[in-house]
């Protein structure tokens, strides 16, 4: 039987996959999106605490995990992986149409030449194969799609928050002055916001609201994937985990193969071009599972670096402090104030800290008689849950650090040599990743500096989490399929195209040569748009 051959097969429907589907469908190409998870309708919002999750003990550590969201996450028993006993890695995974875009907090910060060219300065890793100027137009497009609040011209020259810009942020004036005295600046958080109006959208999965107080980020299922559907050129297969990319005798990719989860049967889908957008480690897992006589170490792995240079942000340092007499400024609008402290360490030609590269802080301002929900909305806390003399006249300021983990060859993933498989019969990953001396020293500085900043603002320290999370829990895993100009030391070229197999592209965070300090989603989308533009051009020229 002759099988349908799609112009493009996209694996994954999150930020990267849905963006690729939109770009290709709008270019008039026939696209298949293969998604391992199901299309999950919005359900009832359940309490955030006291959730029994015996089969989701790892996923339950995610800030967005609750009774309302648990079905978006994988089952840790069925979707297993393994790690050395002394080097844990918490791999947070969503399996649903929309992927982690359904759960993310919406922070959108651009990377710049400080990050792209960092290896020039310290010799660690490789540089990104383009400049900020080259990627900037694609950042512009990504920000329009994600409806990012505030403009962004690169973290080295972002404007400080204007004084008294609105009531919910006026409290930050004291923080601005205190932080400036320590050599850093505080800027408004740059967030994706769907600008939902009451009754026009499905309720937020975290708070159940559709009001503007819920800072609900744009999800791929409601934006790019929905746009792709409208073209009539999109096919979406759900609950079809992909195991491998198929190739012909010449080494060209011909399609993907995997398992139809509902039946357990094997499937194959044929396509002219393959875009892997399954998330950093899943895309690399697919390439490693695509080993063949022509590619014995994994598809496109002639360099030997596939699976290596795994990174996640150095995070878990969380500081909370109380400022009295400011709570009235937040009033009862139900929204947290959010701000960002961009990296300010080691920016010049000489290091000013005892570690390489740097870190920033995400900040939150909440009334002490309220609790912060993952969507940025606040709700009144249980009585006596916040012990203050007058909670309506106090605020809680929280700093969460995010630092750059250096790329190391020996932080890696591989297909488990014990031949373990998941519930779908697909060989699983073994993940070996740890913080090294640079990350440990950075985390200590992140803690001490955070305390100094809050104390300079006259805040009273309330809670301190002084130990960084193990890798994975920042949920920003990146690397393992890095891009670069040199095919001997990278898997992908400057357009996210596999050096060895020209009709395979990878555009999720696995392509990152380094991780910077910024949340990765905006960069993932910008790179995907750029890669799609290049792929369309090559298809029309007959080059792939």
Q: What pTM value is reported for the model? A: 0.93
What pLDDT digit, counting tens, does each position of 20-37 carry?
Answer: 999 999 999 999 999 999
| Predicted pLDDT at 172 | 65
| Predicted pLDDT at 166 | 41
Res 205 pLDDT > 90 = no
* CB of 282 closer than 8 Å to CB of 37: no
Mean pLDDT, residues 525-529: 98
Spatial neighbors of 182 by CB under 8 A, at least 6 apart, are 449, 452, 453, 456
| Predicted pLDDT at 50 | 54
Q: Count CA within 13 A, CB hemisphere, residue 117.
A: 11
In the block, tokens 């990953």 appear at 429
Mean pLDDT, the chain, integer: 89
Res 436 pLDDT > 70 = yes
CA 535 to chain centre: 24
Res 162 pLDDT > 50 = no
- What's the residue count for the chain? 544
Counting Cβ atoms within 10 Å, is residue 101 exposed (0-12), middle (13-18) or buried (19+)? buried
What pLDDT digit, counting tens, does each position of 306-365 carry?
Answer: 999 999 999 999 999 998 755 444 555 567 788 999 999 999 777 889 999 999 999 998
| Predicted pLDDT at 381 | 75
- Least-confidence region, from 47-51, 133-137, 164-168, 363-367: 164-168
Fold observed for domain 5-541: FAD/NAD(P)-binding domain (3.50.50)
Mean pLDDT, residues 161-185: 64
167 or 385: which carries more pLDDT confidence?
Answer: 385
Mean pLDDT, residues 147-162: 51
What confidence category does residue 187 fall into, taking pLDDT thresholds of 50, 70 and 90?
confident
Mean pLDDT, residues 283-288: 98
283 or 377: which carries more pLDDT confidence?
Answer: 283
Mean pLDDT, residues 390-417: 90
What confidence category does residue 524 fall into, taking pLDDT thresholds of 50, 70 and 90?
very high
Mean pLDDT, residues 451-478: 95
Rounded Cα–Cα distance for residues 151 and 159 (Å):
10
Res 294 pLDDT > 60 = yes
Token couple for 525: 């989308």
- Least-confidence region, from 161-165, 321-325, 484-488: 161-165
Mean pLDDT, residues 100-108: 94
Burial call 122-133: b when 16+ CB within 10 Å, e when fewer: eeebbbbbbebe
Q: Where are the domains of the chain?
A: 5-541
* CB of 522 closer than 8 Å to CB of 110: yes
Query: If you ran DSSP here, which 8-state letter would residue 541 be given?
Result: H
174 or 359: which carries more pLDDT confidence?
Answer: 359
Rounded Cα–Cα distance for residues 59 and 72 (Å):
10
* CB of 275 closer than 8 Å to CB of 293: no
Q: What is the secondary structure of 354-375 as a DSSP string?
A: SSSS-EEEEEEEEETTEEE-TT
Rounded Cα–Cα distance for residues 505 and 511 (Å):
10
Token couple for 51: 């959730």
CA 386 to chain centre: 32
Strands 265-276 and 5-11: parallel
Mean pLDDT, residues 212-216: 76
What confidence category does residue 380 fall into, taking pLDDT thresholds of 50, 70 and 90?
confident
Q: What percent of the chain has pLDDT over 70?
A: 88
Rounded Cα–Cα distance for residues 523 and 528 (Å):
8
What pLDDT digit, counting tens, does each position of 491-501 carry?
Answer: 999 999 999 99
Token couple for 112: 């710049």
SS3 string, 205-231, reads CCCCCCCCCCCCCCCCCCCHHHHHHHC
Res 160 pLDDT > 70 = no
Rounded Cα–Cα distance for residues 430 and 492 (Å):
22
| Predicted pLDDT at 198 | 44
- At 234 the three-state DSSP class reads strand
What confidence category does residue 392 fall into, taking pLDDT thresholds of 50, 70 and 90?
low
Counting Cβ atoms within 10 Å, is residue 462 exposed (0-12), middle (13-18) or buried (19+)? middle
CA 468 to chain centre: 18
Q: Count CA within 13 A, CB hemisphere, residue 521.
A: 26
First to last CA, the chain: 26
């Amino acid at each position: 039987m002759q099988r349908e051959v799609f112009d493009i097969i996209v694996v994954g429907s999150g930020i990267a996959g849905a963006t690729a589907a939109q770009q290709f469908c709008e270019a008039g190409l026939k696209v298949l999106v293969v998604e391992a998870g199901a299309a999950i309708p919005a359900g009832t919002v359940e309490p955030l605490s006291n959730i029994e999750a015996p089969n989701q003990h790892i996923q339950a550590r995610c800030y967005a995990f609750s009774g309302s969201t648990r079905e978006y996450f994988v089952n840790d028993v069925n979707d297993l992986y393994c790690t050395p006993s002394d080097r844990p890695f918490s791999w947070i995974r969503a399996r649903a149409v929309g992927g982690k875009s359904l759960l993310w907090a919406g922070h959108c910060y651009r990377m710049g030449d400080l990050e792209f060219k960092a290896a020039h300065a310290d010799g660690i890793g490789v540089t990104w194969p383009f400049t900020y100027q080259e990627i900037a137009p694609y950042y512009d497009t990504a920000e329009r799609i994600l409806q990012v609040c505030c403009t962004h011209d690169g973290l080295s020259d972002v404007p400080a928050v204007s004084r008294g810009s609105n009531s919910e942020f006026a409290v930050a004036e004291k923080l601005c002055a205190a932080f400036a005295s320590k050599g850093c600046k505080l800027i408004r958080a740059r967030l994706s916001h769907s600008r939902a109006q009451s009754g026009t959208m499905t309720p937020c999965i975290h708070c159940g609201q559709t009001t503007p107080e819920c800072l609900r980020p744009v999800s791929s299922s409601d934006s790019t994937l929905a746009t792709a559907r409208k073209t009539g050129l999109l096919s979406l297969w759900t609950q079809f985990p992909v195991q491998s990319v198929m190739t012909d005798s010449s080494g060209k990719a011909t399609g993907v193969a995997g398992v139809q989860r509902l039946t357990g049967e094997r499937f194959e889908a044929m396509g002219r071009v393959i875009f892997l957008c399954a998330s950093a480690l899943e895309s690399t897992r697919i390439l490693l599972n695509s080993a063949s006589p022509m590619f014995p170490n994994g598809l496109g792995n002639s360099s030997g670096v596939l699976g290596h240079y795994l990174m996640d942000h150095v995070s878990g340092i969380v500081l909370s402090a109380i400022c009295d007499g400011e709570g009235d400024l937040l009033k009862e609008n139900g929204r947290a104030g959010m701000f960002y402290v961009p990296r300010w360490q080691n920016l010049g030609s000489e290091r000013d800290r005892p570690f390489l590269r740097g870190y920033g802080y995400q900040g939150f301002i909440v009334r002490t008689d309220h609790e912060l929900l993952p969507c940025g909305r606040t709700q009144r806390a249980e009585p006596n849950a916040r012990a203050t003399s007058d909670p309506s006249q106090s605020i809680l300021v929280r700093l969460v650090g995010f630092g750059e983990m250096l790329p190391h060859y020996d932080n890696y993933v591989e297909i488990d040599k014990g031949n373990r498989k998941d519930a779908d019969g697909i060989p699983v990953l073994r993940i070996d990743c740890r913080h090294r001396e640079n990350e440990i020293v950075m985390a200590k500085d992140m803690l001490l500096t955070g305390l100094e900043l809050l104390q300079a603002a006259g805040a009273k320290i309330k809670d301190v989490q002084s130990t960084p999370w193990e890798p994975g829990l920042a949920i920003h895993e990146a690397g393992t399929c890095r891009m670069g100009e040199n095919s001997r030391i990278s898997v992908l070229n400057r357009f996210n195209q596999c050096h060895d197999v020209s009709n395979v592209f990878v555009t999720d965070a696995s392509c990152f040569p380094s991780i910077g300090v910024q949340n990765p989603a905006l960069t993932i989308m910008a790179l995907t748009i750029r890669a799609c533009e290049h792929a369309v051009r090559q298809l029309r020229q007959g080059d792939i």
